[in-house]
Amino acid sequence: MSNLNYNETGQLIRVNAGKDITAATPSLALLPEVGVKKVIVDGVSIPLVDAEVGNDTYYAGEYIEYTTLDDDLDYAGRWKKKAFLEYSAGNIEQTDYVKFRVMP
């Protein structure tokens, strides 16, 4: 993932799970180095098409995707992102955090 910009809207954030997650209800956690963790539920999807991310291919049904809105990226600096995948009330999986940077 390339760097994003402070308060940038309309940019895709993707997190790869590396396995079929189509039966899950996804959410996205964004954790700035300074500030409060954001857990986003609305607008998070599991696309059914392959996506090229840098030199990697994220396969259909194996990653989540979210398009940034106002105030999502409200800190310039280091961030981490991860996916939460709820299959049932007692079965919630999560990916490892992946680091990215938000530029001023």
Bridge partners, residue 94, by sequence = 84
Hey, what's the torsion of the CAs at 63, 66, 103, 31, to 10 degrees? Answer: -80
pLDDT of residue 1: 52
Tell whether domain 4-103 is in CATH 3.40.5. no
User: Rounded CA gap, 49 and 94, in Å?
Assistant: 21
pLDDT for res 55: 92
Cα–Cα distance for residue pair 97/30, rounded to 1 Å: 9
Please say whether the dihedral angle defined by the alpha carbons of residues 7, 78, 17 and 1, taken in this order, is positive or negative.
Answer: positive
DSSP string for 43-102: T-B--SS-EEETTEEEPTTSEEEEE--TTTT-S-EEEEEEEEEEEETTEEEEPPPEEEEE
Q: Please report the pLDDT score of residue 82 as a whole number.
A: 98
**Domain ranges, ordered by start, for the chain:** 4-103
User: From CA 25, how far away is CA 57, in angstroms rounded?
Assistant: 22
| pLDDT one digit per residue (tens) for the chain, 104 residues | 568 999 999 999 999 999 999 999 999 999 999 989 999 999 999 999 999 998 999 999 999 999 999 889 999 999 999 999 999 989 999 999 999 999 99
Nearest to 38 by CA among 76, 79, 94, 87: 79
pLDDT of residue 75: 94
